[in-house]
């Protein structure tokens, strides 16, 4: 190495110039976790003896199903963390409690929609209750939610009498579960053999790509929804780029177009993969709804702006006329609501509820946020980053199961990933100063 | 008395964007009390931080020669080992610990693995006696008053075997009696051969204790005055050194227009300290501002200026308010709410832009709109096009030097940060602006631009209250000047009639009267 450098003195200089010119360092800093996700996926994809397994349609589907609660809870957690690194330790117990109430209600024959409303309502009420102590009485968030963590675990046990309660309500399971029936049905193709034959004939390209057997199962509705969603996404992005250009905002347009193209390709590819299996899982719909809504709230609304401002400098925000106490209250009431939703999804996936369900969920949500670049001191962090963080953890989990790593070691790896991710974050910020 | 203990030679220290110290020289002889005076931001504290190793060797240029040797401190421990001990303005005591524990914090008696508590407390008691405290060293710090806590700090310094003791505004939070006791204690230490540097704003203290006085201004040494000449050094003489700078063209001319009617008036305004409710921070203050008028409030640090402004701005400081606030002739019932104040078209531009003013981790755009998000959003959804347009408009108007309004405020220079802070409050469309030290810590060019903005605001019929501890600024910018000392307004002058000397004289008069 040293010989080579000496032989070509201009080589180093040219490399540095190249790095400076294209801001490679800044690029790596900004997209560390995205690159890590790509690399990790690739490593599992190429794993000797298990090549390609990680990206099989069935595995993609179960990746989404298994991590639904992480996405939902981490969204709520992100809002709390934004206010100044505050976390909510109670969500795991709240998930279990809402699910316990919901399952018990359905077991005694309650209407599923009423049950869903009650579950969300309970979540919101618990969140608002804890938020009251945190925002108005100023009990430290850590302690208030630790209390909630114990209390609602206890209440779950009380409601369930210590036993598991199963869900028999098929409608509920179809909508919120992850079983065979919990997919958006293929409205556009009814599975009539004659029509299928015609479809195979018409789509010779598709047959060549995935084989005739898969084509007869191909979920056209899923593919259509995926395509439409991607087109909508492209339209929104293009509109944003154009309006930026009109306003003369100095953003690198080529970079945005590259990102846009990459995300679109990824979206189309995922829809295609899902279409090859059972179609669009219902949970993906709920996750997408939550993520989209909260990306909008954090980016576009006044309350979102207040979350960032309070975390960045609470005193300055208060002196700007923002009622900072209410911002805290909002964040905690909101995570309660989302814990209610996570309770619905958890019960749906498990087709019932056990008194120990939800344990450790809060930690998964917190880890996803921090791996996704949220600051432990608040004020910075994005929904998109959190998605990457949750996906990275999900892929590592799934990958380790596929390649057969001992379950005990999986937790060790999770811990290391969290530490390394936050270490990168802290170090890159220190360099700036 | 002739041996030089400490010499700091051509010390230069730059912070990003600001030269805090420029070729500063300081010479302290053994056994003397050396006073360091200067206005806020003159560089006194920075110089002492360089000396004590808080800014380690390598972050400044120049030499520190202590006891005949060149020193290169890399942290506080290094300087303390040689007996240089600094007592900071904010007391650094842990309230929940005993006096003895505090005195030996970080410097524990005994072995590495076991603290010798008997020795700790007996030694601590001995030092407490030398500073004249009768309390046992086992008493918790939170149970004794501020004056005694200051003495504990000194005892702590003694326990570190101090040879050169640096006191940064030791009397700023003490009353008259405690201050005098502290100064007398310093004189008695001097008799025992201790060398001391005192930083203070109170000039009567300087002439009382100091042997030599070094004046700093804008990061440079102006002069060192000997206090033992034939005649005692007058306070006016020191003030001249502190503020005497070129006055030509430092302030933009403003066309004098007829002033409008009274826009804001407060009468018998009294505010108490939030933690010590028995203490009046603002005491029976009455003032008014007309439309189009710039009213200056001059006072030294701790005079209660910031507290006055913040209490007017939605009672954001203090407790037990009394007095009356009138806006446009109508009495306003104010609650403790900043948003109420903004709704009443009052803006408070803080002196502490990093701590209380800006969200450093966010962009110029976000900071500009923060106090008036309603104006750029509909149904709480922010219209980012409008937000960009607003941020850019103010960038042009205030000449904020940045390529993009997406730049993080934390990356801007002090002057530009101050402009962003002003932009934020101008966008809130106030009628009354309370500007608290709007030019603190920024360079001369940026100051001039801020002055122009203030003049534009007044010309547009706004009422501006300019709080400043820089005399030339108050004199150069205001139509009328209130002089504040120890929570009270002690005088009111027309700008044409006021001079630096008459203002200082008013403060001295009130100080002596009390």
Give the mean model confidence (pLDDT) for residues A131-155.
95
Nearest CA in chain B to A299: B382
Task: Select the highest-mean-pLDDT range: A353-367, B47-61, B80-94.
Answer: A353-367
Distance of CA B293 to the CA centre of its chain: 26
In this structure, what token pair is assigned to residue B50? 């360089």
Nearest-Cα distance to chain B for A303, in Å, is: 7
Counting residues of chain A whose pLDDT is more than 70, the rounded percentage is 90
pLDDT confidence tier of residue B334, bands split at 50, 70 and 90? confident
Indicate the residue of A247, A251, A309 with minimum beta-carbon distance to B359.
A309
Nearest-Cα distance to chain B for A309, in Å, is: 6
Whole-model pTM: value is 0.79
pLDDT confidence tier of residue B17, bands split at 50, 70 and 90? low
B358-384 pLDDT, tens per residue? Answer: 999 899 999 999 999 999 998 889 988
Cβ(B314)–Cβ(B338) below 8 Å: yes
Nearest-5° Cα angle at B25, B22 to B30: 155
Q: How far apart are CA A79 and CA A67, in angstroms?
A: 19
Q: What are phi and psi of B171, to 5 degrees?
A: -105, 10
Q: What is the pLDDT of residue A229?
A: 92
B198-226 pLDDT, tens per residue? Answer: 988 777 788 888 999 998 887 888 888 88
| Chain A residues within an 8 Å CB radius of B381 | 300-302
Q: Is B495 exposed, middle or buried, given 0-12, 13-18 or 19+ CB atoms closer than 10 A?
A: middle
A176-193 pLDDT, tens per residue? Answer: 988 888 888 877 776 666
Q: How far apart are CA B266 and CA A260, in angstroms?
A: 58
Q: What is the pLDDT of residue B243?
A: 67
Nearest-Cα distance to chain B for A211, in Å, is: 48
Hey, what's the torsion of the CAs at B310, B316, B321, B324, to 10 degrees? 60
Q: What is the pLDDT of residue A6?
A: 46
Cβ-defined contact of B348 to A316 (cutoff 8 Å): no
Nearest CA in chain A to B339: A321
In this structure, what token pair is assigned to residue A346? 């958890």
Q: What is the pLDDT of residue B133?
A: 86
Counting residues of chain B whose pLDDT is more than 90, the rounded percentage is 26
Indicate the residue of A301, A312, A320 with minimum beta-carbon distance to B382.
A301
Give the residue among B305, B311, B303 at the shortest CA–CA distance from B510.
B303
Nearest-Cα distance to chain B for A72, in Å, is: 23
Q: What is the pLDDT of residue B110?
A: 77
Strand locations in A235-309 (E): none
Cβ-defined contact of A312 to B362 (cutoff 8 Å): yes
Q: What is the pLDDT of residue A164?
A: 93
Of A21-25, A344-348, B227-231, B262-266, the least confident: A21-25
Res. B180: pLDDT tops 50: yes
Nearest-Cα distance to chain A for B8, in Å, is: 28
pLDDT confidence tier of residue A7, bands split at 50, 70 and 90? very low
Indicate the residue of A302, A305, A319 with minimum beta-carbon distance to B338.
A319
pLDDT confidence tier of residue B230, bands split at 50, 70 and 90? low
Nearest-Cα distance to chain A for B313, in Å, is: 9
Q: How do the domains of chain A map onto residue ranges?
A: 27-182+282-432, 189-280
Indicate the residue of B339, B359, B384 with minimum beta-carbon distance to A312.
B359
Task: Select the highest-mean-pLDDT range: A77-81, A248-252, A403-407, B384-388.
Answer: A77-81
Cβ-defined contact of A301 to B360 (cutoff 8 Å): no
Q: Please spell the DSSP secondary structure of B90-114, one letter per residue.
A: S----TTSBHHHHHTTTS-SB-SSS
Cβ-defined contact of B360 to A303 (cutoff 8 Å): no
Q: Which domains can be identified in chain B, with CATH numbers?
A: 4-243 (3.40.50.300), 248-345+430-514 (3.40.50.300), 360-428 (no CATH)
Nearest-Cα distance to chain B for A126, in Å, is: 25
Task: Tell me: ipTM over 0.85.
Answer: no
Indicate the residue of A250, A308, A375 with minimum beta-carbon distance to B362.
A308
Q: Which residues contact A366 (CB under 8 A, 6 or more apart)?
A: A74, A77, A81, A87
Cβ-defined contact of A321 to B350 (cutoff 8 Å): no
Q: What is the pLDDT of residue A4?
A: 44
CB pairs < 8 Å spanning A and B: 91
Nearest CA in chain B to A246: B385
Cβ(A33)–Cβ(A421) below 8 Å: yes
The overall average pLDDT reported for chain A is 87
Residue B169 Rama label (left phi>0; alpha psi -120 to 50; beta): left
B103-142 pLDDT, tens per residue? Answer: 888 778 777 778 888 888 988 999 999 888 888 888 888 8
Of A160-164, A185-189, B20-24, the least confident: A185-189
B270-281 pLDDT, tens per residue? Answer: 998 888 788 888
Nearest CA in chain A to B340: A321
Interface test with B, best of A249, A256, A316 (most B CBs within 10 A): A316
Q: How many CB atoms lie within 10 A of CB A235?
A: 10
Q: Please spell the DSSP secondary structure of B339-366, one letter per residue.
A: HHHHHTTEEEE-S-IIIII--TTSBHHH
Nearest CA in chain B to A312: B359
| Chain A residues within an 8 Å CB radius of B427 | none
B371 in reach of chain A (CB within 8 A): yes
pLDDT top residue among B415 and A331 = A331
Cβ(B390)–Cβ(B427) below 8 Å: yes
Indicate the residue of A247, A308, A316 with minimum beta-carbon distance to B385.
A247
| Chain A residues within an 8 Å CB radius of B370 | 305, 309, 316-317, 320, 322
Cβ-defined contact of A315 to B348 (cutoff 8 Å): no
Res. A76: pLDDT tops 50: yes
Indicate the residue of A250, A300, A321 with minimum beta-carbon distance to B371.
A321
Cβ(B310)–Cβ(B316) below 8 Å: yes
Number of H helices, E strands in chain A: 21, 2
| Chain A residues within an 8 Å CB radius of B424 | 320
Q: How far apart are CA B213 and CA B215, in angstroms?
A: 6
Cβ-defined contact of A300 to B341 (cutoff 8 Å): no
CATH 1.10.10 fits A27-182+282-432, yes or no: no
Cβ-defined contact of A323 to B339 (cutoff 8 Å): yes
The overall average pLDDT reported for chain B is 85
Indicate the residue of B360, B373, B403 with minimum beta-carbon distance to A250.
B403
Q: What is the pLDDT of residue B333?
A: 83
Res. A210: pLDDT tops 70: no
A302-313 pLDDT, tens per residue? Answer: 999 999 999 999
B362 in reach of chain A (CB within 8 A): yes
Q: How far apart are CA B18 and CA B202, in angstroms?
A: 27
Res. A250: pLDDT tops 70: no
Res. B283: pLDDT tops 70: yes
Res. B446: pLDDT tops 90: no
Res. A209: pLDDT tops 80: no
Give the residue among B362, B352, B355 at the shortest CA–CA distance from B441.
B352
- Three-state DSSP class for B496? coil
Res. A290: pLDDT tops 50: yes
For A285-294, which contacts have Cβ atoms below 8 Å and span 24 or more sequence positions?
Answer: A285/A184, A286/A68, A286/A72, A286/A176, A286/A341, A286/A345, A287/A64, A287/A68, A287/A71, A287/A72, A288/A229, A290/A71, A290/A72, A290/A75, A290/A338, A290/A341, A291/A71, A291/A75, A291/A383, A291/A387, A294/A75, A294/A78, A294/A79, A294/A383
Res. A9: pLDDT tops 60: no
Cβ-defined contact of B362 to A303 (cutoff 8 Å): no
| Chain B residues within an 8 Å CB radius of A251 | 406
A327-347 pLDDT, tens per residue? Answer: 999 999 999 999 999 999 999
Q: What is the pLDDT of residue B119?
A: 86
Nearest-Cα distance to chain B for A413, in Å, is: 32
Q: What is the pLDDT of residue A191?
A: 61
B381 in reach of chain A (CB within 8 A): yes
Counting residues of chain A whose pLDDT is more than 90, the rounded percentage is 54
Cβ-defined contact of A317 to B424 (cutoff 8 Å): no
- Which helix (H) or strand (E) segment holds residue A339: the answer is helix A324-350
Q: Which residues of A35-65 are buried (b: 16+ CB within 10 A; e: fewer)?
A: ebbeebbeebeebeeeeebbbebebbbbbbb
Give the residue among A342, A341, A338, A320 at the shortest CA–CA distance from A330.
A338
B56-106 pLDDT, tens per residue? Answer: 888 888 989 998 888 888 888 888 888 899 988 777 888 888 998 888 887
- Three-state DSSP class for A361? helix
Cβ(B159)–Cβ(B104) below 8 Å: yes
**DSSP β-ladder status, B33-37 and B18-29:** unpaired
Res. A252: pLDDT tops 90: no
**What are A's interface residues with B at a Cβ cutoff of 8 A?**
243, 247, 249-251, 300-303, 305, 308-309, 312-313, 315-323, 375, 379-380
Res. B297: pLDDT tops 90: yes
B137-177 pLDDT, tens per residue? Answer: 888 888 888 788 888 988 998 888 889 999 988 887 677 77
Res. A433: pLDDT tops 50: no
Cβ-defined contact of A319 to B357 (cutoff 8 Å): yes
Res. B291: pLDDT tops 80: yes
Res. A143: pLDDT tops 90: yes
In this structure, what token pair is assigned to residue B328? 């446009």
Q: Is B448 exposed, middle or buried, given 0-12, 13-18 or 19+ CB atoms closer than 10 A?
A: middle
Between the alpha carbon of residue A186 and those of residues A217, A266, A277, the distances in Å are 10, 22, 12
Indicate the residue of A249, A301, A308 with minimum beta-carbon distance to B380.
A301
Cβ(B442)–Cβ(B418) below 8 Å: yes
Indicate the residue of A300, A320, A380 with minimum beta-carbon distance to B370.
A320
Give the residue among A159, A85, A92 at the shortest CA–CA distance from A422.
A85
**DSSP β-ladder status, B488-494 and B330-331:** unpaired
Indicate the residue of A305, A321, A322 with minimum beta-carbon distance to B382.
A305
Length of chain B: 514
| Chain A residues within an 8 Å CB radius of B357 | 316, 319
| Chain B residues within an 8 Å CB radius of A317 | 359, 370
Nearest-Cα distance to chain B for A96, in Å, is: 34
Q: How far apart are CA A78 and CA A342, in angstroms?
A: 15
Q: What is the pLDDT of residue A5?
A: 43
Nearest-Cα distance to chain B for A19, in Å, is: 22
């Amino acid at each position: 190495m040293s010989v080579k450098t000496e032989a070509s003195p201009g080589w180093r200089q040219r490399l540095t110039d190249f790095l400076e010119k294209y801001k490679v360092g800044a690029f790596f800093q900004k997209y560390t976790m995205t690159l890590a996700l790509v690399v990790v996926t690739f490593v599992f994809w190429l794993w000797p003896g298990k090549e390609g397994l990680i990206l099989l349609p069935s595995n993609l589907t179960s990746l989404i199903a298994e991590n639904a609660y992480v996405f939902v809870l981490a969204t709520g957690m992100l809002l709390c963390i934004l206010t100044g690194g505050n976390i909510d330790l109670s969500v795991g117990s709240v998930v279990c409690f809402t699910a316990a109430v919901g399952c018990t209600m359905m077991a005694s024959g309650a209407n599923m929609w009423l049950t869903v409303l009650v579950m969300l309502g309970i979540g919101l009420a618990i969140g608002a209750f804890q938020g009251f102590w945190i925002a108005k009485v100023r009990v430290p968030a850590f302690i208030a939610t630790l209390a909630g963590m114990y209390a609602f675990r206890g209440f779950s046990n009380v409601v369930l009498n210590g036993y598991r309660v199963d869900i028999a309500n098929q409608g509920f399971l179809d909508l919120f579960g992850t079983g065979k029936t919990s997919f958006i049905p293929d409205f556009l193709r009814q599975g009539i053999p004659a029509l299928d034959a015609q479809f195979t004939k018409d789509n010779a390209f598709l047959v060549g790509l995935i084989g005739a057997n898969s084509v007869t199962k191909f979920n056209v509705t899923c593919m259509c929804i995926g395509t439409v969603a991607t087109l909508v996404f492209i339209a929104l992005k293009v509109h944003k780029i154009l309006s930026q250009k009109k306003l003369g905002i100095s953003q690198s347009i080529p970079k945005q177009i590259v990102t846009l193209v990459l995300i679109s390709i990824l979206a189309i590819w995922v829809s295609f993969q899902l279409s090859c299996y059972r179609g669009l899982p219902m949970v993906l719909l709920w996750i997408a709804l939550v993520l989209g809504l909260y990306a909008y709230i954090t980016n576009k609304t006044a309350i979102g702006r207040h979350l960032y401002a309070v975390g960045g400098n609470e005193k300055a925000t208060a002196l700007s006329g923002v009622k900072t106490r209410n911002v805290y209250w909002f964040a905690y009431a909101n995570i309660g609501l989302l814990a209610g939703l996570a309770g619905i999804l958890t019960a749906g996936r498990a087709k019932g509820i056990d008194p120990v369900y939800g344990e450790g969920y809060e930690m998964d949500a917190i880890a996803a946020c921090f791996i996704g670049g949220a600051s432990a001191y608040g004020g910075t962090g994005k929904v998109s980053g959190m998605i990457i963080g949750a996906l990275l953890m999900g892929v590592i989990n799934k990958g380790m199961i596929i390649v057969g790593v001992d379950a005990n070691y999986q937790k060790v790896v999770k811990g290391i990933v969290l530490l390394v991710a936050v270490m990168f974050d802290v170090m890159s910020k220190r360099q700036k100063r | 008395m002739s041996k030089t203990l400490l010499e700091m030679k051509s010390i230069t220290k730059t912070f990003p964007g600001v030269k805090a110290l420029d070729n500063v020289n300081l010479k302290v002889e053994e056994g003397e009390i050396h006073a360091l005076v200067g206005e806020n931001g003159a560089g006194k504290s920075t110089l002492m931080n360089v000396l004590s190793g808080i800014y380690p060797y390598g972050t400044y240029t120049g030499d520190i020669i202590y006891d005949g040797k060149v020193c290169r401190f890399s942290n506080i421990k290094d300087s303390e080992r040689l007996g240089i001990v600094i007592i900071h303005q904010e007391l650094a005591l842990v309230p929940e610990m005993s006096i003895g524990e505090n005195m030996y914090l970080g410097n524990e008696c005994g072995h590495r693995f076991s603290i010798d508590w008997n020795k700790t407390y007996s030694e601590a008691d001995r030092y407490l006696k030398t500073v004249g405290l009768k309390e046992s060293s086992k008493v918790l710090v939170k149970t004794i008053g501020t004056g005694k806590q200051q003495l504990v700090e000194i005892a702590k310094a003694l326990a570190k075997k101090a040879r050169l003791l640096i006191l940064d505004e030791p009397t700023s939070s003490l009353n008259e009696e405690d201050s005098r006791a502290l100064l007398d204690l310093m004189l008695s230490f001097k008799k025992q051969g201790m060398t001391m540097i005192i930083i203070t704003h109170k000039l009567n203290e300087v002439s009382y204790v100091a042997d030599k006085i070094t004046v700093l201004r804008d990061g440079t040494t102006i002069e060192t005055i000997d206090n033992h000449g034939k005649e005692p050094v007058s306070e006016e003489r020191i003030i001249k050194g502190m503020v005497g700078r070129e006055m030509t063209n430092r302030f933009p001319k403003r066309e004098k227009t007829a002033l409008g009617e009274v826009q804001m008036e407060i009468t018998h305004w009294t505010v108490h300290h939030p933690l010590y409710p028995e203490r009046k921070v603002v005491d029976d203050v009455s003032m008014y501002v007309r439309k189009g008028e710039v009213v200056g409030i001059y006072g030294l640090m701790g005079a209660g200026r910031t507290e006055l402004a913040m209490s007017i701005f939605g009672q954001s400081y203090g407790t037990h308010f009394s007095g009356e606030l009138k806006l446009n002739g109508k009495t306003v019932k104010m609650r403790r709410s900043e948003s109420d104040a903004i709704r009443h078209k009052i803006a408070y531009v803080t002196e502490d832009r990093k701590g209380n003013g800006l969200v450093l981790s966010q962009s110029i755009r976000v900071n500009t709109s923060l106090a008036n998000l309603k104006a750029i959003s509909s149904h709480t959804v922010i219209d980012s096009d409008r937000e960009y347009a607003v941020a850019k408009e103010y960038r042009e108007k205030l000449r904020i030097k940045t390529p993009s309004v997406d730049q993080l405020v934390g990356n801007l220079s002090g002057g530009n940060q101050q402009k962003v802070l002003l932009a934020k409050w101008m966008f809130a469309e106030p009628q009354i602006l309370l500007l608290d030290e709007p030019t603190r810590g920024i360079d001369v060019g940026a100051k001039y631009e801020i002055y122009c903005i203030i003049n534009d605001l007044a010309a547009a019929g706004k009422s501006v209250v300019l709080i400043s501890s820089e005399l030339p600024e108050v004199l150069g910018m205001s139509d009328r000047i209130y002089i504040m000392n120890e929570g009270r307004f002690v005088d009111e002058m027309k700008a044409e009639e006021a001079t630096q000397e008459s203002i200082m004289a008013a403060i001295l008069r009130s100080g002596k009267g009390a």
